[in-house]
Structures are given as structure tokens and as C-alpha cells.
Structure 1
Amino acid sequence: MKKLYTLLYAFSLILINPWGGSRGEIWTQPKVFVVLLIVLSNLSFLWEERKLLTFSRQWKICLVLWGFFLTVGAISTLQSPFPERSFWGQDQMGDGWLYWLLISIFSLTNRLLLKLHPELFRCQMRGLLIGAVVVAVSVFPQVINWQIDYTATNGQLVGNDVLASTIFRGQQPIALYSHRGHAAIVLTLAAVISLVGWKWKLISDRTSSLALFLILPALLFTNTRTAIVSLMIALFYLLGRQYYKQLIPAIFIGLLAISAMTFTRPLDWNRVSVAQVMSSRDPLWELAVRGIQKRPLFGWGFGGFGIAYPFVTNPNNTPEIVNLGQFSYDYIALNGQVRTEKIPSYKAHNLILDTAVSTGILGLLACFTLWGYCFYSVIRSPNIGIEAVAIAYTTFAIAWFESAEYAHIFWWALDFSESRFQSSKFTQARADSSSF
């Protein structure tokens, strides 16, 4: 049982299908499949021990909140201009209504399982760290040779600086994900998990140091500033009071790395602006707000920004959309001909806006109520510290987005609020952390 969960959680970060025909088939669907296997394993073990199950008030509240969010999401899906896209999710992102149903079962069953077997937390943590180390190691060859993508078409080009897998040179290193930003957040969360395990005495100093020795350089190579910022905030929250002297040089290195990443980006030095330097999301955010204004209550369905984009890109004209592709859409032009336009992004790159444009204001309230309650439950539990993972994730998603390739890590971190670990070292570590 323990080895099974270690293996499953490791594969939830690293499994890919090298022969897939799209980004979703290569990088997203295999990881979602592993989450499904975890859910099935949870249900199987819970069924075997069903006579021992107890449903606490906290678990029931989570069940109700998940039900509320999924109900709003179902209404959003049914009212969406493209309900199938909302149900299944966009190919690469993968976070349609069905995915969130899977995550709800993942979270609720894992809560019950950890309550019965809190020792499994260590196994799950070990699996995530093993997976993250593999992700980190996979980054380094791509730094040397950007044409490495670990797919069956590895090294094959279909255009100038474009691989057959559709990965662009500027998106490398992607590790075992469809974008370097996805790899960056996984490495960030793994770094925080490693430090939580070290602080709780669940992993040794040597293991934690080895993991961080591989994870942190790989994270820097992903060249993702938001990930560095989210890691700094999470570490300050987790270790700031007790280890502030050690954090000062770490924060300095982080700020130095962010500065280097900012000014080594390709910029038009003849017209440098704050928006250009900071990779402004303003155009995307403006479109997202426009989409929310058109459908304020229930939104456009999951993946709402990509669904809404054809309808809001031109404020003076709403075209007749005849087909919504994965990265483009077909519409009838004024001359009666069918034309195709690209969808530049399926996400607004802001967690709040993406949630609101997908499920409306009601969905946003439902989602944040669920997040808030789960977060509150963790910080009120004896297991204080693990919420730093959620802090890193949320900070990152404020300027990025959620994806089915890694969202399960966030919910895993919020599942430990009712468990009790019996290790004396762990209990003492929790007592020490609570005293600061």
C-alpha cells in the first residue's frame, strides 16, 4: 500500500505519452490518468475499511462546498456556447468540469484515507519528491540542447525553432510538461514540500538537501519569475521567523535571479516600457473583464477565456462562430466567407479572472469559499506548515493559471487537516513550529 502510493504520486508528476499526437495527449492526459488511478486506489482501500469510516463535520462541509462549486460549474457548462469544451476542457489545459469532478473525489477520498492511515502522508510526500527530482534532472539536458523534449519525435523540427511536438524554442526547458511555466510551479511546490518534510522531521537533512540541490537550479533554468517570487513568499511564511538569517541570502539570490531573468528577455530597447519588462497581462485581463461583463453570473464554461475570446476580441462586432478549435476558431466574416483566427491563449493568466470568466461570479464565490475553508482548516490543525504549499500555488496562479498537469498538488496539500501522525519526532516538530 505504501509503495503503491509512493509510485503513483511520483508518476503523477512525470508520466508522459511520447507517442501522443497533441500536447494534451503527450503531457496532460497521462498525468490526469495517474490521478484517476490514485482515486480508484483510494476508493478501493476505503471500501475495504468502510466499517471504520467516520465523516466529520469538516469533511461534510468540504463535500457541500465541492458540490456547490460543481453545480455552478455544471450550469456554466450547460449554458456555454461550447458545452463539450467546458465539459472535457481544452486539450492542453485539461481542466474541464469532468476534471474538477475527479479532483473533488481525489481530495475528499484522500482526506478520509489520511485520517485512517496518516502514515501514508509520508509515502505520498516521498512520491512527490521523487517525481520532482526526476523533473529537475530532465531539465538539464534541455538547457544544453533545446531540441530534447522526450517524445517520439525528439529533435525533429517542423519550422524555424519549432519542434514536431509543437514546442517552441522559447518555451524550453519544459522538463516533462507542456510548458516551462508548468515545470516551474511543480519544482516550486516540491521545494516547499521538501522543506515542510524537513521541518517536520519526516525526511532527513541529507535527503532534503539532495532534493533541493537538484530542484533549485532546475527551477532557475526554467526562467520563470513568478515561480521564484512564489517560492520566496512561501519560504518566508514557512521559515521566516525561525530561520530569517538563513533566508536573507536566499532572498537576495532570488531577487538577483528575477532581475537577470527580466533584463535578459528579448526587449525592444527603443521602446522599453514597464508593461514590456514585466510581461504585462493587461490585454488578456481586459478581454477577461469584457467576457465577465457579458456573462457575469455563470460565465462561459470551464476554459472560459478561450471560449469567450472569439466573442469579446472585437468590442464593436460579435461574429458568428461556427467552430471552436483547440488553438483557433472559425467564424463567418462580413463577406459571408468562413475565416480562421488564432486563439492566443486559453487562459487570462490570472486565477481570479480565469475562474470568474469560466464559472461567473457565483462560481468564483463558490471556489474561493472552498479554498478559504480548506486553507483555514489546515492552519487551525496541528499540521501547520503544509499550507505553505497552497500559498506558493496561489501566488503563482495570480499571474499564471491552473492546469490539469499540476493542480492536484494544491489540493493534496489541503487534505491533511484532520490527520494525526503518531511519530514522536513529528509531534515535537509540530509543537516547535506552533510556538513561533
Structure 2
Amino acid sequence: MKENKTNKAMILLVTIFAVGILSLPFTARAQSGDPYEPNETPEQAWGPLVSGQVYEAYIWTEDDNNDYYYFVPTVSHTASVTMTNVPTDCDFDLYIYYFKNDRRRLVTYSATAGNVDESVSFTASAGVKYYVRVYQYRGYSNTQPYHLVAEYAKHTGNVAIYLPVVLSSYPPQPTGNLVVAQGNPTVFHPSVTLTLSATVPGGDVVTQMRFSDDKVQWSEWEPFTTTKSYTLSGNTSELKTVYAQFRGGKGGVSDTVSDQVYLSINGSFEDARFSGWQTTENPLPVEQQGSIQEHSGGTTSPASGKHVVLLGDTDYSCDDVPLGYAAIEQNFHVPSVPSKLTFKYIIWSQDASIKGAYDRFEVYVNGELKFYDGNMVNDLSCSQWRRVPSGDNPRDEQTTGWATGEVDLSAYAGQNVTISFRNYSRYDNWYNTYTYLDHVTIEGNW
């Protein structure tokens, strides 16, 4: 990273989060040697750094390559770390890390060429242990200390600080908004479009934006645009949150904004390989279809996208229907807020579903039957096909198109569940039943 250094002025040395005059009670000074050594590695990091306190320390020898410190914010807020008073003919850099799954993750860094001040600003999350690394790129001094200060406490009153650096007013702070997937509550593919808006007062303009899936690991700052193509993280069906921040031309950074969407992997069955799903043909088949062939003539379009899934077979003879079922299932993460499973379905049947022992469409959550439906008109013949929904089998006043099924998932809040959709042929080999399924998702107030 060093070879890309440029001699550019740092816009901000110290961030002030409260209106008023600021002052420090004292400056920590080294009496002999460096009182914070050994702190060459993250495991030896000295701390915690007190928010707003100036620390004087040394890169003492040529072999003193790193000084590590740490701090842990108690509230989520913007944090800044500034290093000043770099000795003449020296070049020290500033890096911020945290650890996740035992791996070091870079949050941000400042690596300007020469003995100039280095400063970083980022959104710190409460309870996360952040490591400050002072890196010796060139030179050392055991007579002139560098000065290090971390500001991460959220001030709520008028306080005063004295710092041995130039004070400047905090740049105007942008405000912004983020919308995922045009505000749709559900998407069926991780590739989405973000819609963004942001303004900043005081004659400044918004110039940059960045994004995160967890408010800890952020993308690099990039030029501000009003739309952006974005890929949701992970490959499971769950509620996804996207976070964004905006930065003005004068350096002010917005508070974090966010939006949520439920990602139902291939919930509209556009992938013919049924990615995200597991199918069972026991022995009834599971197939992808482009439309619904209606026995009354014509076709019905998919509820969403260009495809649906067919559970069962449209071509079985009336007196030669194999016993068994066709199933398609997937693991879903149920959000912690109240939510429900929703899906669209159409059933065609020659049989009656007046008893559980007969043909019908069923939905299971973790192996427990939660929903079922089928033809309720007990007037059977090989020439008589009955549809759900229809005039004979209305569902919530729906007599054409798709019926909507729902399953309350409140009892599974915060859990991973397996949801299985099945079309059963039961009792005997007479009379065929099959089900079209589409638009499977989990909905809630997010």
C-alpha cells in the first residue's frame, strides 16, 4: 500500500462530537523509554486507550516496527484516531483493525508520505475491540515522541478539550436514505439495485458513499451515485440488511442508514436446476414449467418471474396414478420479528380432498404439517377435473388465477427451519392430482 502514497493534506485531525469547548485533564508522557512497550503485536496491544486522551510514545529503535493499542467503544458512534508530531525524517502510518473468526480485518488506514499527521475516521460498533497500529515505514526516534489520540466516546454535554493539534470545526454532516430493490419486501436473487439519496448543508455536496452488511466491515469509499448494483451477502434464504454511509466534499460523514429485504433463494423457480432447493420424486415428478395449462382451456402466467414448479404429472391415466408424492423443500431463516410464510398455488384434481387419506397439497415446517388444500367437491369421474381456486373451490373470494397460502412462523422466530411443499397421491391408484407452486417467501414488517 505504501508505494501509492501521495503528499496530501489531511482534512480532519480531531473530531468533536459535542457543541462547546473541549479540554483534556492531562497528557500521558513517557518518563524513560516507552512505557507502553512491549506492544509489537495485537496480542501485546496496550490499552484501552481513553477517549480524547493524548498519548506520547516512541518508535524507539530501528527494529521497533509496530506499536499496537486498542479501545472498545461502549456505544456505536463515529470514531477518529489521529497521530501527530511525527519525528523529522521519519514516516509512520496508521492502521485500524478488528478480529472476526480469528482473522484480522482492516477497517481503514492513513499512509501519507513523510513526517506528516495521519488521521482516520470510521463508524465504530459498540463492544467491538478495535486495534490501532502505528507502523514504522521509515525512521525512528528515541528523543521525539509521536502523539496519538483516539476519540470514540459519544459526548452528551458541554465539555472542553485541550489538544496539541490545530482545532477545526467538524465538517457539515450529510444526511441520506437507502432503498433496496425499489422497496420490495422480497427478492429471489441476491443481485439487487440500491436507490440512494443524500444531501449536506452549508454549501457542501455529497461526493462519496460506502456500504456494509454488518456495520463492521465496510467497502471502500466510492463516488456517490443515485443508484448502485449490489450483491447481497450469503447464500441462504434470510432477511438481509444493507447499510450505507455518505461523505461530503469537506469530509463530513453521515450517520449509518439501512434498509432490509428478505432474500428467498430461487423462490420464483427461475433456475431449472432448482438451486437452493432439494427435490424428492417419490415417485411423482418435480418439473419446471413456463405456464399453467388449464383444463378449461388456455394458460395462466406465473405468479412472478417466468417459471413455476409443477409437483406431480399432468398426464397420468385416471386409473393408473402411482401412490406417493412429489416434494420440494429449502432451509429458511425466520426473522426475529413477527413473520409468515407466503406462497402461490394452483391445484388441478380428479379426486376429492375431504379427508387426509386422499390426494391433496400439503406444506410442512420442520416435518410438521402446517397447511393443506385440495378439491372439496366430492363428485368424482375421470372426465371431471376441478381447480383450486375456482367457482367450485373459492379461496378468500379468489376464483381465478392463483390462490395464496400462508403459514404463521411466529413460533420459529430467530430459527432456521426446513419448509417442504408436497403433492400427495393417496388411498388408491384412481384419480390424478397435481399442484403448481410459485412465489415462495417469508414476509413481515421490516
* TM bin (shorter chain): under 0.3
Q: Report which of the two structures shows the higher radius of gyration computed on alpha carbons.
A: 2
Greater RCO (Cα-Cα under 8 Å, separation 6 or more)? 1
Output the TM-score relative to the length of structure 2: 0.19
Q: Which has the higher strand share?
A: 2
Output the TM-score relative to the length of structure 1: 0.19
